[in-house]
Structure 1
Amino acid sequence: MPDLATPLIAWYGSNARDLPWRRPGFGAWGTLVSEFMLQQTPVSRVIPHLDAWLSRWPTPAALAADPPAEAVRQWANLGYPRRALWLHRAAVEIRDRHDGVVPREVDELLALTGIGDYTARAVAVFAYGDRHPVVDTNTRRVLARAVEGRSQPGPPAKTDLARMAALLPPVDEEAAILNAATMELGAVICTARTPRCDACPISDRCAWRAAGCPDTGDARRKQARYEGSDRQARGAVLRMLRHADAHAVRLDEVIADWPDARQRDRAIDSLVADGLAEAVEGTLRLPV
């Protein structure tokens, strides 16, 4: 396997974006919150929400002390609002199980609500500096091209962690930088649609480029259309509940003008099932 670590680490040192979670002293709680927010949400949208969130709740205990409705309300338009509910539950668990300190061990992080392989390792590596492979969508694309010679990665698999682990330098600090550098390369250079191979620091050792950049197919699951979807209806219901402050809204008044009554009812039912809303005596409200 070619040495990708040396050129990637050097490139990252000169080209890494200045992002809040990369600054010294950002802390494990900030890292955890940022990783929750960054799931399927662009960096540009996350930063202002992250700043507001950490100003309001600078510790897990601070968030845990407020009702989950406040977390859902503060989440605003970030999308996939179950993340707000999961983050609130994780904060409660951190307060109650770990004395308010975000745990360091991957197994303990995985035991928290809403945390999977990626987020657990991201916190352990980027907040605590431990040596683990961290694999997100951008990392998987870089590995697919540079190592496997494919234009796009296949579905996520446990083998992704092994592939990334094989590239990590033995020194913890350098391993953490390589994880971040690989993600950064996929985000800004080795992008899904228009990779900038001329600006890539590992283009001379990339298996896909050496093969002539062939189109090897794309097995990624396509994002369903948002306009007219149940997701859009769910978002409209939550938006109404957030703007209602602490008040409940009569069920017959919840997005009463929605063009598809059945879809409206499905949205309400699914939000209640997910714990994002509560139906009480003919009204709907955010979870208490």
Structure 2
Amino acid sequence: MQQIHHLINQWYQTNARQLPWREPHVSGWAVLVSEFMLQQTPVVRVLPVWTEWMERWPRPQDLAAEPVSEAIKAWGRLGYPRRAVRLHAAAVEITTEYNGEVPTSEQQLLALPGVGDYTAAAVACFAFGQPTVVVDTNIRRVHARLFGGAALPEPNPRASEFVRARQVQPEDLATAVTWNISVMELGALVCTARSPKCEQCPVFEHCAWIAAGQPPPHYKPKGQAWQGTDRQVRGAMMAILRDTDGLLAPSAFLSDLATQQEPIFIGLQSLDSPLEQRERALAGLLADGLATEESDGIRLPS
């Protein structure tokens, strides 16, 4: 295990991507924002939005001072905009409960709005150098192949995967902190889901999956549908709300879309979604706090 730790950590030192939230002395807030944005979103899409956010809101109290609608607008097309609402709520709590300083312990981080087990462990490790056990999709895949001999981890995380992650964690503090990010980067760049670059892997000779003859996955991964889904319709509605100053009558979304002349409706019109789906999508936005309904119309939450 010590040799595996050394090989992967050494590989990371040479091959890691230069990402701004990994820079030395970067703030805990910068890391927290990156972790919110990187959930189910590739780095290439996150980079420009993260940069704009950090220029506009370099501290949590800067974001907390603005209405949540501004966070939703600035989130743009990253997807899953509930993350923007939760990040704003986390900024408010950090400002009011922690004097504007992101808490350093895993348990305190876990208590913030929108922060789950992975994010709490990742921020504690990457921002504050704590030897937490970080387990994300990339790490699960590397562990499944390197130690388990399986092509892919289970479709949904299992308790046994977290037990294994703790078992293979280095005992030395500094080595453990580097190990988390190193394994994650290895999964992102080399030990990928579809086309792993095994010839570039620093632990090729130690890999249980290679030793087993690279057996195929024991299930067929299912991609997440987008075209024609409620999520796509919600996204088109959110784009309209972000581009609208003031209120919109519910009928703007629910009446005959062909009658809408405003350019901002082009995206929703092109979907040709049935009324029932638009009603469901709008109800979901209201329930999730991404839109608010007032007596005279609908708008982004204030």
What's the TM-score once normalised by structure 1's chain length?
A: 0.96
Aligned position for 1:141? 141
Report the equivalent of 2:66. Answer: 66
Runs of 4+ deviating beyond 4 Å? none
The 5-angstrom pairing of residues 40-189 of structure 1 reads 40-154=40-154, 155-189=156-190
SS for the counterpart of 2:161 is: helix
Q: Measure the CA separation in 1 of the matches of 2:277 and 2:204.
A: 49
Q: Percentage identity across aligned positions?
A: 47
How many pairs does the alignment contain?
Answer: 286
The alpha-carbon deviation at position 255 of structure 1 amounts to: 7.1
Which 5+ residue runs of structure 2 have no aligned equivalent?
Answer: 258-268
Question: Where in structure 2 are the equivalents of 1:232-243 lying within 5 Å?
Answer: 232-243=232-243
> d(CA) in 2 for partners of 1:226 and 1:243?
22
**What residue is the counterpart of 1:268 in the other structure?**
282
Q: 1-side partners of 2:34 and 2:159: how far apart?
A: 24
CA shift at 1:167, angstroms? 2.2
- What SS does structure 2 have at the residue aligned with 1:250? coil
2:71–2:85: 8 Å Cα contact kept in structure 1? yes
Residues 292 and 300, structure 2, Cα contact 8 Å, conserved in 1: yes
The within-5 A match list for 1:22-33 is 22-33=22-33
Hey, what does 1:17 align to over in structure 2? 17
Deviation digits for residues 255-280 of structure 1 (CA, Å, limit 9, x no counterpart): 75242111111111100000110011
Q: Distance in 1 between matches of 2:160 and 2:213?
A: 25
Kept in 1, the 8 Å contact 2:5–2:170? The answer is yes
| RMSD (Å) for aligned C-alpha atoms | 1.4
| Residue type of the alignment partner of 1:196 | K
Could you tell me which residue of structure 2 aligns to residue 248 of structure 1? 247
The alpha-carbon deviation at position 19 of structure 1 amounts to: 0.7
Q: CA deviation at 1:102?
A: 0.5
Find the aligned partners of 1:219 and 1:118 in 2 and give their Cα distance: 25
SS in 1 for 2:52: helix
Counterparts of 1:4 and 1:162, CA distance in 2: 18
SS class of match (1:170)? coil
- Does the Cα contact within 8 Å between 2:38 and 2:46 map onto a contact in 1? yes
> What is the Cα deviation at residue 158 of structure 1?
3.0
SS of residue paired to 1:279: strand
